Structure 1
């Protein structure tokens, strides 16, 4: 005689509606609207725009790796906005821009874009051994 198979334990179904029977009606903003980009994605785009501007004038920057990090890893008294590392045997030259310190020092997107560009120019100048004004003639004027 076969014994009945015990019922499977029911897994909780994901809730698709809130307690009032309503659910998400749709996305808060469509993907093409800047609102849907995260702050880190927006910041990364600012760095990329700045690098693109400089690469037209300095083609050797194509070999440099640009990184966006949230915060610097050091515990110094002053917090840097960016840093650079010369190329080594096993890694390319790197320029790091630190997102949180830059965001803290700016009030809006325009100020942030300006400061990001200044940081990138300063780090490129340090890496190339040049003055920031020779890397970007508009440095410090904007």
Structure 2
């Protein structure tokens, strides 16, 4: 005589462990911890910090678009770290900082921050027709 198969017990809330018994997967770090920011976000923050520093002294920079691009669009003999385009009637002036070439030339975040600032200062100076030392008196000293 066959015995009837008992009904399956109802699910009792979410599973606490995966099938290997290691627990549920979750984020490595909460979003407010710097570990959870990507390299590109961190680089963008460095550019923004540099621009904020310069805007205090040069308010006209608020009309300039600052862009972070992965690599330059055109291939040349030397790889630029940044470039600038003057304003046209259709768009404001732009300064581009190239993330990958800057990252390749630096070993850590401090070096990267210094190089990003130098690139931004050089491009602002080129755009304004000034010497980098007049844009930021501390240029080249750090």
- TM-score where L is the length of structure 2: 0.85
- Aligned pairs (5 A) from 1:34-113: 34-113=34-113
- CA offset digits 1:13-61 (Å, max 9, x no partner): xxxx765144544310111111100000000000000000000000000
Q: Please give the TM-score of this superposition, normalised by the length of structure 1.
A: 0.85
Moved more, 20-29 or 125-134: 20-29
1:43–1:22 distance in 2 versus 1, CA, 3 Å: same
Structure 1 stretches lacking a partner, 5+ long: 1-16
Residue 62 and residue 27 in structure 1: after superposition, are their counterparts in 2 closer, same or farther (change >3 A)? same
- The structural deviation recorded for 1:107 is 0.1
Instruction: Specify whether residues 24 and 74 from structure 1 end up closer, same or farther in structure 2 by C-alpha distance, changes over 3 A only.
Output: farther
Structure with higher Rg: it is 2
